[in-house]
Amino acid sequence: MPPPALSSLRVVRLPGRSPEFTRRIVAALGRLYGNHPLMRYIAVHHVGADSTLPAVEQARRVHRWVRDHHRFVLEAGEQVQTPARTIIWGYGDCDDLSALVAALLTALRIEWRAMLLAYATPTGPKPFHIWIQAMIDGRWVDMEVSDPTARFGEAPAAIMARRRVAF
């Protein structure tokens, strides 16, 4: 199957979706769009990451570019947009920004995984946030981009503690 045209922008509404389902959608979008030649072009020419740099520096540049050029915006009802739509609009919620990070890492051939953050409830954990981790030098590195103060390698829970945000 040929890669999708980046002009085939989509926003998919996910009524009543589970966080695990959203995590799978983000992973699928990251892999699908990451294999598109234009995503590689964006990674090299806009993000400034290319194969001459060590993987840690490529990942650091992806983190900085997505965090600094795309705003976190809550949405009314759950939906997931493509990485291309996030680039064009310049905003998205945590799943949209994570799909963009995943697509850029895929384009750079850096292994990654989508993570869910949950808080404890009497009935069990309740996931409420998604972010990406990249495999760098044999360890998983957090790439949280939803918070404009997020540092490369800083986990969402650490950001919340640093900012004194309760969850």
Domain with 64 in it: what CATH number?
A: 3.10.620.30
**In-domain check, residue 25:** yes
pTM of the model: 0.86
Mean pLDDT value across the chain: 85
pLDDT in tens, 12-44: 555 456 778 888 888 999 999 999 998 999 999
**In-domain check, residue 153:** yes
Measured CA to CA, the distance from residue 13 to residue 66 in angstroms comes to: 23
Q: What is the pLDDT of residue 51?
A: 84
**In-domain check, residue 8:** no
**In-domain check, residue 4:** no
β-strand pairing of 79-81 with 71-72: unpaired
Q: What are phi and psi of 134, to 5 degrees?
A: -110, 145
β-strand pairing of 91-92 with 71-72: parallel
Counting beta carbons within 10 angstroms of the beta carbon of residue 94, is it exposed (0 to 12), middle (13 to 18) or buried (19 or more)?
buried
Range of the domain at 107: 18-162
**Burial annotation 22-55 (CB, 10 A radius, 16+ → b, else e):** bbebbbebbebbbebeebbebbbeebebeeeeeb
**In-domain check, residue 136:** yes
**In-domain check, residue 66:** yes
Number of domains in the chain: 1
Structure tokens of 145? 């981009």
The answer to whether 36 and 104 are in contact (CB under 8 A) is no
Mean pLDDT of 101-106: 97
